Amino acid sequence: AQSVTQLDSHVSVSEGTPVLLRCNYSSSYSPSLFWYVQHPNKGLQLLLKYTSAATLVKGINGFEAEFKKSETSFHLTKPSAHMSDAAEYFCVVSGLTGGGNKLTFGTGTQLKVEL
Amino acid sequence: SQTIHQWPATLVQPVGSPLSLECTVEGTSNPNLYWYRQAAGRGLQLLFYSVGIGQISSEVPQNLSASRPQDRQFILSSKKLLLSDSGFYLCAWGRTGTLYNEQFFGPGTRLTVL
């Protein structure tokens, strides 16, 4: 079985300050992990993915995440928040079932960026 | 490049009416296809997935059904909608042949059942 826990349902930062969105995972396999972003009434967009290559993964829009096996964590960071980063972020773990890969989603973290 | 389309974008339907949501993918062959529902204030729930034409797996017993009549077409249906069917429906595709692949999502359909 696999699961993800997003430790904060809401995070608020000021524009220009760092962003940290926390995620812990549980998986029976060596997992693939993803972060997706969803703006209001839009589909989900892939920010970045970890698939057992480099543990520090760089994504789009200046985001990055570090896979830490000892801590079972995959936290998302960005050095400087922008107003356009305000959205909901989902941490996701991938696993197999019945021939198709399945994604298990965290409950999401709503990021608010203030002036 | 690959693109995924969903329609309609928004839909308001009365309780007891039928439903048909369509999803199509371009630029890839034999994708895995997925239907998710996102209810207000909740995460994404996988409803159905398909690894090929006519092959449908249901994740959650419910008032909905899915069909895959063509390789890149995935349809979500209901014979009689319930109030609880309201939500944001997302279609996604993923590549076959490789483990642990990411999925790519469509723009979604906002369904309101009144």
- State whether A32 and B101 contact (CB < 8 Å): yes
For residue B110, which amino acid is it?
R
- State whether A99 and B43 contact (CB < 8 Å): no
Q: What is the pLDDT of residue B100?
A: 56
The average confidence (pLDDT) of chain B is 91
* Residue A16: HSE in the Cβ half-sphere, 13 Å Cα cutoff: 1
**In chain A, which residues have their Cβ closer than 8 Å to the Cβ of B103?**
101, 103
Between A82 and B44, name the one with better pLDDT: A82
Q: Which of A28, A103, A104, A105 to mutate to test the interface with B (most CBs of B within 10 A)?
A: A103
CA distance A67 to A72: 8
- State whether A101 and B99 contact (CB < 8 Å): yes
Between B4 and A27, name the one with better pLDDT: B4
A102 confidence band (pLDDT: 50, 70, 90): confident
DSSP output for B66-98: EEEEETTEEEEEESS--GGG-EEEEEEEE-SSS
A3 confidence band (pLDDT: 50, 70, 90): confident
Residues B19-56: b if buried by 16+ CB within 10 A, e if exposed: bebebbbeebeebbbbbbbbeeeebbebbbbbbeeeeb
B95 confidence band (pLDDT: 50, 70, 90): confident
CA distance A86 to A13: 10
Is B1 touching A (CB cutoff 8 A)?
A: no
Q: What is the pLDDT of residue A81?
A: 98
Please say if the pLDDT value at position A89 is more than 90: yes
Q: What is the pLDDT of residue B60?
A: 81
Q: What is the pLDDT of residue A100?
A: 55
Q: In terms of C-beta density within 10 A (0-12 exposed, 13-18 middle, 19 or more buried), how is residue B9 classed?
A: exposed
Is B11 touching A (CB cutoff 8 A)?
A: no
